[in-house]
Structure 1
Amino acid sequence: MDKQKLIRNFSIIAHIDHGKSTLADRLIEFTGALDKREMKEQILDNLEVERKHGITVKAQTARLEYEKDGQKYILNMIDTPGHVDFGYEVSKSLKACEGCLLVVDATQGVEAQTIANAYLAIDNDLELIPVINKIDLPSADIEKTKSEIEDALGIDAKESIEISAKSGLNIDKVVDAIIDRIPPPKGENNAPLRALVVDSWYDNYRGVVFIVRVFDGELKVGDKILVYSTKKEYDVEELGFFTPKSKKTDKLSTGEVGYVIANIKNIQDATVGDTITLAKNPTDRPFEGFQKPKPFVFAGLYPLNPEDYDDLAEALEKLQLNDASLTVEKEKSESLGFGFRCGFLGVLSMNITRERLEGEFGLDVVMTTPSVLYKVELTNGETIEISNPSELPQPTKIKAIYEPMVETEIITPAEFVGNIIKLLQDKRGQQKEILYIATDRVLIKYKVPLAEILVDFYDKLKSLSRGYASFDYEFSGFEASDLTKLIILINSKEIDSFSLIVPKEKAYRIAREVLKNLKQYIPKQLFEVRLQAKVGGKIIAKETIGALRKDVLAKCYGGDITRKKKLLEKQKEGKKKLKQLGNVGISKEAFIKLVEIKGD
């Protein structure tokens, strides 16, 4: 039989914590790719942060071999990131497949990311196999889960497979379904090489390693390849696949998934979604929809100890080697010293970067208030992009400010709908749709500014729904908004790190909250400290931190009143001088607290 007909390329998609990585473990174990002593939980999750949060950040692959009816099948499992911030990577991983397993937790039912990922799979014309997991738990409701799959996704759940990924129950049925229901890859082995980059990372010894799915043609060791977006050429030094251990091979044929090493030094030269072809006979059909990763969330990162600056620079450089979406620019702050302005795909990738800096590199960092990418139309007709509030031009030069919007999907028990809608309205949300996907579960769709969900939205949502609501979002473009710059002053000195771009109608409320927090966390000085918030040249809020008072009259046991007055005047002059020259110490807690409030 033709080798291509024995290949099955599939992915596993699920909401966070529905058992995607556990199912991947069982499939690897069941097909004998690794024996018991080599297995560990979440075998495909290599990063410590992935294990801590129970999420997949980097896509991984495993080539599994399984014999059925006398034929040896190759099952290429392409594990996808499970969070919305990595939606582009998920879509490209799914493009490399012909089918996918849609895992739904029988105790939780259909969640927001289940719907988002299922739609991505449907858009890519993939064969969807519903898999209902955790059926051995006492709280599992299999029939209700099936009806939710049918109502929310329009997928026939009669042929869904009921499993327990933890115990391995019915894993054999999952493997049979992959072989029987997912079609083999199409493509012509004699056509010019056309391969899709599914993932890439940096290896200290071998340069960039990237995973490809070959759609047409054949790739051999020694071939000169062309990266379509950059038009750069490289010699293939090594080919192979993961089982999930790496195994070398001489060639990758149509339909196969494997890794390529070609002495590429910069991860920007082989990013997800790019087309790989042969330099001497290039394809004229590159894959559509390729885009360089573009950050939408920005924040300043500063070392808590100034002497750690070089270590932070080195750590960010190492993280950039493996993350083409992370942008880093040097930045100087009046209050925090030297640091870096970093751009991230979204809120999760921002938090993961910070955790990796602190956990893997042992650095203490201060992160300034996150902001988003704004487009500013100037009165002279020019449009600029800004990511830092300090870059916003003077109000007289601005014609309009456009902010990024996201389409949110929230699934919640019906009893919490009122509270969640109030939260969305407070966050300047615009209602799109409210659907009942079961008698007691509701799907809420809203359009919300990205800036409004940056900091505490997810925590508030979980609090209002007692942890039951699930949340997913998708970038939907830029819209004009009535925004202004809020400037914080300490003793009449503008503090750039505390500047915010805020909605005009919320400016006063945010200003009061910021100053209240700063007053609480800035320690008292020997002089009076004035805190002010300014919008468009006008002070809209102020607070005062009283001076520490030393009793200079304590040593005066008697004598003329003029002696006491003289001492008090001397103290007053000293405090006046201190006020002009003294620096106000701002603790790390002040920054953290400021990040937490962001306009509530």
Structure 2
Amino acid sequence: MCRHFQVVSQMENLFDFSPSEILYVSAKNGTNVSSVLEAIIERVPCPQVKLGSPFRARIFDSWFEPYRGPAVCVSVLDGAVVKGQRIRTYHSNCEYEVLEVGIMHPEMRECLYAGQVGYLLTTMKHVQDATVGETLYDLSIERHNLQALPLFRPNASCIYASLYPMDVSEYSILRESVHKLALNDSYNGERIIRLLDASHFPKYPSDIDHFLEPVIKLTILIPNQYAPEVDKLCTEARGERVDWSAMDTESSMQQWKLPFAEVCGDFFERLKRITSGYATYNYQPDGYERAEIDLLVIQINDRPVDEFSQIVPLRVMKERAKLIVRKLREEIPRQQFEVRIKATMGQSKKTIAETVIAPMKKDFTGRLKGNFGEQKAGKERMKQIGRVQIPKEAFVNVLRI
């Protein structure tokens, strides 16, 4: 149902727009699209360019062309760029040759001039090198004389899907495919690598003063009728509400502070579900705060399995341990020997949850005379030296809970 009058009222209250500035457009139906083009001509000033100056441009997008490499979308600010020209990036200081020039149709062009928007194919090999906001310039310009443009503010990362290849050999294929997508958000000249998996958890608790976990500031726009469900969801996710304001008589805006670990799973999916898809949200990093967490270690026959181990808040440690142990009992088939599944807390090795999968039973007493004591001892030896066969589906199903 169209709610354009309500949306206009909200925009007036939140952003101080006047009614004459708001255009009623439906891109889906093609309604009033011409008014957008007219408004661009009337309201957006012409770019201030210098045609006679050396080439200078800014990257605003890119995509990967099979067999040809990254296609870089640029806005030309000064001068012109042609095929065969040598150019350089300012922030990463890399040199490339222009192989192809075009406009956004795409059509081949011999040259892009200042004030135009188009694409370049260069000798660039990786789409990650096409950082959004990067400045391209001609080699004739001395670096110290160049007026470089600042990088764009990094986009807020958003989780769309969690992928777990069933075959280990497919990890390299997944990694290559992800690299070809668009990992080209600006990063302010810094590269930070964080190893946050359980296998790198500190081994000596006495060396730890406290833990810090990243938190986010979450802004949610919702109809008022869904406010109780949203409050419950955010509270269960260890959230703290920091602000609330009414947008109009039917909707409100809430701001919450949440641990980032709580929104990495199905949080936003649940938010959309409880609000029937009417929730609009955005979040941004908000530093680090102290956290009461510890390592949950999953052991199978007294052997830790790093793939199942997790870093978990203390208040949900016991519940999480029971859930994983119960799930593994369902997923692991019976073996020829007893399988003991155990969840322990951190380096203290304190057992939180435990279960046993009984071995497959073979009864030979009807035809053979045997020593049951020797059979039992044999199964114990098999348990010590045997490897538990864990189906690949078990790893995926445990990660889903």
What TM-score, normalized to structure 2?
0.86
Deviation at 1:203, TM superposition (A): 2.8
Contact 1:295 1:325 in 2 (8 A): no
- What is the count of residue pairs matched by the alignment? 391
Alignment-derived partner of residue 542 in structure 1: 353
Distance 1:288 1:401 in 2: 34
Counting only pairs closer than 5 Å after superposition, residues 114-125 of structure 1 correspond to structure 2 as none
Change (3 A) 1:292 1:179: closer
Matches within 5 A, 1:143-292: 143-243=5-105, 246-282=106-142, 284-289=146-151
Determine which of 304, 310, 329 is the counterpart of 1:494. Answer: 304
Query: What secondary structure is seen at the aligned counterpart in 1 of 2:247?
Result: strand
Match of 1:388 in 2: 197
CA pair 193-481 structure 1, distance change in 2 beyond 3 A: farther
Question: How many angstroms does 1:438 deviate by?
Answer: 2.0
Instruction: Give distance in 1, aligned partners of 2:173 and 2:226.
Output: 46
1:158–1:295 CA distance, 2 compared to 1 (3 A):
closer
Aligned 8 A contact 2:214 2:288 in 1: yes
Q: 1:304 aligns with which of 166, 176, 180?
A: 166
Partner in structure 2 of residue 419 of structure 1:
229
- 1:516–1:293 distance in 2 versus 1, CA, 3 Å: same
CA displacement at 1:484 relative to structure 2: 1.8
1:528 is displaced (CA, Å) by 2.2
Q: Aligned to 1:530, what secondary structure does the other structure show?
A: strand
**Correspondence list, 1:12-161, <5 A:** 139-161=1-23
CA distance in 1, matches of 2:125, 2:340: 52
State how 1:447-462 maps to structure 2 within 5 Å. Answer: 447-462=257-272
- Encode CA deviations 1:549-596: one digit per residue, 9 max, x unaligned: 525265169xxxxx6xx5432432232122113322333443333223
Change in 2 beyond 3 A, CA 1:251/1:571 = same
Secondary structure in structure 1 of the residue aligned to 2:229:
helix
Equivalent residue number for residue 253 of structure 2: 443
Q: 2:401 aligned with 1:592, yes or no?
A: no
Q: Is the 8 Å Cα contact of residues 344 and 353 (structure 2) preserved in structure 1?
A: no
The Cα shift of 1:449 comes to 1.5
CA positional deviation for 1:271: 2.1
Change (3 A) 1:148 1:303: closer
User: Aligned AA for 2:223?
Assistant: P
What residue in structure 2 maps to residue 510 of structure 1?
Answer: 320
Q: 1:467 to 1:578 in 2, by over 3 A?
A: farther
Aligned residues of 2:214 and 2:259 also touching (Cα < 8 A): yes
1:70 maps to none
2:339 is aligned with 1:529: yes
For 1:460 and 1:318, the matched residues in 2 are separated by: 28
User: Offset of 1:385 from its aligned partner?
Assistant: 4.0
Structure 1 residues 504-552: Cα deviation after superposition (integer angstroms, max 9, x where no partner):
2322222122212222222222322221122232323122233145252
Question: 2:17 & 2:184 partners in 1: Cα distance?
Answer: 34
* Residue 552 in structure 1 maps to residue 363 in structure 2: yes
Shift of 1:322: 4.2
Matched residues in 2 for 1:248 and 1:289: separation?
28
Task: State the Cα distance separating 1:296 from its structure 2 match.
Answer: 9.8
Displacement, 1:413? 2.0
Q: Deviations over 1:142-172 (max 9, x none)?
A: 3222112212333223442223433323222
Partner of 1:574: 378
Runs (5+) with no aligned partner, structure 1: 1-138, 327-344, 346-374, 376-383, 558-562
Match of 2:175 in 1: 316
Q: Aligned equivalents of 2:153 and 2:271: distance in 1?
A: 32
Shift of 1:211: 0.9
Alignment partners' CA distance in 2, 1:516 and 1:197: 51
Tell me if 1:468 matches 2:328: no
CA contact (8 A) 1:386 1:392 kept: no
| 1:508–1:540 CA contact under 8 A, matched in 2 | no
Query: Is the CA contact 1:414–1:441 (under 8 Å) kept in the aligned structure 2?
Result: yes
193-202 vs 271-280, greater mean Cα deviation? 193-202
1:239–1:258 Cα contact (<8 Å) kept: yes
Aligned partners of 1:196, 1:478: CA distance in 2, in Å? 33
* Structure 1 residues 25-56: Cα deviation after superposition (integer angstroms, max 9, x where no partner): xxxxxxxxxxxxxxxxxxxxxxxxxxxxxxxx
Q: Secondary structure at the match of 1:467?
A: coil
CA contact (8 A) 1:456 1:596 kept: no
Measured at CA, do residues 572 and 301 of structure 1 come closer, stay the same or move farther in structure 2, by a change above 3 Å?
Answer: farther
Counterpart Cα distance in 1 of 2:162 and 2:221: 33
**Structure 1 residues 289 and 396: alpha-carbon distance in aligned structure 2, compared to 1, 3 A threshold:** farther
Question: In the superposition, relative to structure 1, how do residues 408 and 296 fare at CA in structure 2: closer, same or farther (>3 Å)?
Answer: closer
Task: Give the Cα separation in 2 of the matches to 1:294 and 1:587.
Answer: 36
Q: Residue 183 of structure 1: SS of its match in structure 2?
A: coil
CA distance in 2, matches of 1:290, 1:142: 31
Cα pair distance change 1:578/1:156, threshold 3 Å: farther
Any idea what SS the aligned residue of 1:544 has?
strand
Moved more, 430-439 or 536-545: 536-545
Q: 1:273, 1:290 within 8 Å by CA — same for their partners in 2?
A: yes
Kindly tell me: are residues 215 and 478 of structure 1, through their superposed partners in 2, closer, same or farther at Cα, counting changes over 3 Å?
Answer: farther
Asked if the contact 1:293/1:325 (under 8 Å) is kept, the reply is: no
Amino acid at match of 1:313: S
What letter matches 1:492 in structure 2? D
Tell me which residue corresponds to 1:430.
Answer: 240
Q: Percent same amino acid at aligned positions?
A: 31
Question: What RMSD over aligned residues (CA atoms) do the two structures have, in Å?
Answer: 3.1
**Mapped partners of 1:295, 1:478: distance in 2:** 17
**Residues 420-477 of structure 1: CA distance to partner in whole angstroms, max 9, x if unpaired?**
1122122121222112212121211112111111112123223332333233222233
Q: 1-side partners of 2:334 and 2:61: how far apart?
A: 52
Distance in 2 (CA, whole Å) between partners of 1:468 and 1:261 is: 41
Tell me if structure 2 keeps the 8 A contact 1:408–1:472. Answer: yes
Comparing 529-538 with 199-208, greater Cα deviation is found at 199-208
Q: CA deviation at 1:492?
A: 0.6
- For structure 1, which segment, 193-202 or 431-440, has the greater mean C-alpha deviation from structure 2 after superposition? 193-202
